Amino acid sequence: MEKENKIMLPENEAERQLQYIELVKERISALSESAGRPLTACVVTFGCQMNARDSEKLSGILEKVGYILTDSEEADFVIYNTCTVRDNANQRVYGRLGALNHLKKQNPHMKIALCGCMMQETEVIEKIKKSYSFVDLIFGTHNLFKFAELLYAMFENERMVIDIWKDTDKIVENLPVERKYKFKSGINIMFGCNNFCSYCIVPYVRGRERSRQPKEIIHEIDELVKDGVVEVMLLGQNVNSYGKNLEEPITFAELLREVEKIEGLKRIRFMTSHPKDLSDELIQVMKESKKICRHLHLPLQSGSNRILKAMNRRYTREQYLELVQKIKREIPDIAITTDIIVGFPGETLEDVEQTIDMVKQVEYDNAFTFIYSKRTGTPAASMENQVSQEVVKEGFDKLLKIVQDTAREQVKKLQGQVKDALVEEVNEHDSSLLTGRLSNNTIVHFPGEASLIGKIVPVKLLECKGFYYLGEMTDFKVEEESYI
Ligand code: 5AD
Ligand code: SF4
């Protein structure tokens, strides 16, 4: 006779998951007792800020069920939160899985899980089933909220548990989160992407755009601020289209106005902005704000109109330039950073020259340059004119040099000024130094006590070291700045 399911689960999803947390907790407690020691768990993050935030959610659940979190992969539970934006991220996961298998053979308690964007690809799942059968649990981007339930299933099953959803319209609120930093936090304001840039796999693995309710976002930030957070990073693939599909539509600029009102919150950042959707209203809100940081990440991808069209970016170089000029005119101290892809199908060295010209004109404070990676299922993958490695390398090296020279020039412009820095950590290489971040995202190292971590202090920028500064704390008040 089938065993009767004694577990009565509530209908509310968050409550259901909390119930699973209790069930897994019993399991971990029993395992820990038989092992005669606490069990440890390690979350490894690949990829972007979205994944970093998801990993904090995974960590929150792991801690609640009784694992001790560790950075070492010699743990009783290891989860890789994967990225598939470019193929090299996938290759790294496969490489590291081999090493994990080795560790698993030495630790009978060890469980291995995989989640994130890479798991939304059918070929990946097939490959793991075939060649990495020691993995215990696999799930994707749409059902991360079920992590506690999936852990329960993993302990109930001898065989690999796989749960991948194709898409979802669900947003589950109020699950536990374990933050990496006490004083700053990412906040998802929306999930997914509707843009379908022709090279990009994100819309396929993260699904359609879904915005969270503004009141849920504000509530979350309120709680974070009560818990010591002074800086938030609002996260979305395309924050500029936030709120368009809500029952009661609201713009991103309006959301920012609400976030600004939160008492105790000192700095607001956001990522990522699509140039085609960046409104005048947003520029105005940024200009008037005392809290929104003077930094805008505005991916260009290419400076050639022909390539931009083939990429389905839906703006021209002229429109992009006009936008940047408008932003700089309104907010002169803003730092602009970008993403650029080299080697998109059909791209010639002349196209790269056009990109280089844009870098020179915009004067980016930093640019992340990527070599085009062919992603199965995207329109660009089936374009015939894929670029040879030699041509890509030549264009890439040339671009990188210009990008670095421009960034150095930009960063140097602050030399001698006093700016407020949020102290983030003790310097990795020299423990007498603290590492802080300016509103415009520039890093500064300066002597100070660890007790200042999480505080905003005025720092004189003494010596530009290329992409960062050496400085010293000062009593001088930052009067000319209208923001922190
Ligand atoms: N190849 C190379 N870079 C890519 N990006 C997205 N898809 C690809 C791809 N197939 C880059 C874009 C994006 C950043 C997050 O990753 O520049 O802005
Ligand atoms: Fe990818 Fe374009 Fe969406 Fe960014 S906006 S996630 S590059 S499809």
Which of 46, 341, 373 to probe ligand 1 with, by most ligand atoms within 8 A of CB? 341
Q: What is residue 477's predicted lDDT score, i.e. its pLDDT? A: 62
Q: What is the CA radius of gyration of the chain?
A: 24
Which atom of ligand 1 is nearest the CA belonging to 371?
A: 2
Q: Ligand 2 within 6 A of 200 CB?
A: yes
Point out the ligand nearest to the CA of residue 193.
2
Which of 118, 196, 200, 383 to probe ligand 1 with, by most ligand atoms within 8 A of CB? 200
Q: Are 118 and 83 in contact (CB under 8 A)?
A: yes
Which of 90, 196, 370, 374 to probe ligand 1 with, by most ligand atoms within 8 A of CB? 370
Q: Ligand 1 within 6 A of 200 CB?
A: yes
Q: Is the peptide bond between 272 and the residue preceding it cis, with omega within 30 degrees of 0?
A: yes
Q: Ligand 1 within 6 A of 128 CB?
A: no
Q: What is residue 58's predicted lDDT score, i.e. its pLDDT? A: 97
Q: What is residue 2's predicted lDDT score, i.e. its pLDDT? A: 42
Q: How far apart are CA 449 and CA 431, in angstroms?
A: 9
Tell how far the Cα of 200 is from the centroid of ligand 2, in angstroms. Answer: 6
Which atom of ligand 1 is nearest the CA belonging to 199?
A: 10
> Is 232 in a helix, a strand, or coil?
strand
**Computed from CA positions of residues 446, 293, 208, 21, in that sequence, does the dihedral angle turn out positive or negative?**
positive
The model's pTM is 0.93
Q: Ligand 2 within 6 A of 323 CB?
A: no
Q: Ligand 1 within 6 A of 355 CB?
A: no
Q: Which residue has the tokens 């957070």?
A: 229
Q: How many CB atoms are located within 10 Å of the residue 325 CB?
A: 12
List the end-to-end C-alpha distance of the chain, in Å, as a whole number. Answer: 66
Q: Whose CA is nearest to atom 5 of ligand 2?
A: 195
Strand order in the sheet with 184-188: 184-188, 231-235, 267-271
Q: Ligand 2 within 6 A of 301 CB?
A: no
Per-residue pLDDT of the chain (484 residues), as tens digits, is 444 455 677 778 999 999 999 999 999 999 999 999 999 999 999 999 999 999 999 999 999 999 999 999 999 999 999 999 999 999 999 999 999 999 999 998 899 999 999 999 999 999 999 999 999 999 999 999 999 999 999 999 989 999 999 988 888 888 889 999 999 999 999 999 999 999 999 999 999 999 999 999 999 999 999 999 999 999 999 999 999 999 999 999 999 999 999 999 999 999 999 999 999 999 999 999 999 999 999 999 999 999 999 999 999 999 999 999 999 999 999 999 999 999 999 999 999 999 999 999 999 999 999 999 999 999 999 999 999 999 999 999 999 999 999 999 999 999 999 999 999 999 999 999 999 999 999 999 999 999 999 999 999 999 999 999 999 999 866 554 444 4
Query: Which residue from 258, 246, 180 is spatially nearest to 213, judged by alpha carbons?
Result: 246
Q: Ligand 1 within 6 A of 375 CB?
A: yes
Tell how far the Cα of 385 is from the centroid of ligand 2, in angstroms. Answer: 22
Q: How far apart are CA 316 and CA 318, in angstroms?
A: 5
Q: Ligand 1 within 6 A of 87 CB?
A: no
Which atom of ligand 2 is nearest the CA belonging to 196?
A: 8
Q: What is the 3-state secondary structure (H, E, C) of 124-175?
A: HHHHHHHHCCCCCEEECCCCHHHHHHHHHHHHHCCCCEEECCCCCCCCCCCC
Q: Which pair of tokens denotes residue 10?
A: 């509530």
Which of 200, 272, 312, 370 to probe ligand 2 with, by most ligand atoms within 8 A of CB? 200
Q: How far apart are CA 64 and CA 455, in angstroms?
A: 29
Q: Whose CA is nearest to atom 2 of ligand 2?
A: 197
Q: Ligand 2 within 6 A of 193 CB?
A: yes
- Strand 456-464 relative to strand 418-426, pairing: antiparallel
Which atom of ligand 1 is nearest the CA belonging to 48?
A: 15
Tell how far the Cα of 419 is from the centroid of ligand 2, in angstroms. Answer: 33
Tell how far the Cα of 338 is from the centroid of ligand 1, in angstroms. Answer: 11
Query: Which residue from 302, 364, 301, 313 is spatially nearest to 337, judged by alpha carbons?
Result: 364
Q: Ligand 1 within 6 A of 372 CB?
A: yes
Q: Residue 243: what are its φ and ψ, rounded to 5°? A: 85, -10
Q: Which pair of tokens denotes residue 227?
A: 């818990």
Which of 46, 91, 199, 301 to probe ligand 1 with, by most ligand atoms within 8 A of CB? 199
Q: Ligand 2 within 6 A of 379 CB?
A: no
Q: Whose CA is nearest to atom 7 of ligand 1?
A: 200
Tell how far the Cα of 301 is from the centroid of ligand 1, in angstroms. Answer: 8
Q: Which pair of tokens denotes residue 293?
A: 């940081």
Which atom of ligand 2 is nearest the CA belonging to 201?
A: 1
Tell how far the Cα of 469 is from the centroid of ligand 1, in angstroms. Answer: 29
- Strand 190-191 relative to strand 184-188, pairing: unpaired
Q: Whose CA is nearest to atom 16 of ligand 1?
A: 85
Q: Ligand 2 within 6 A of 237 CB?
A: yes
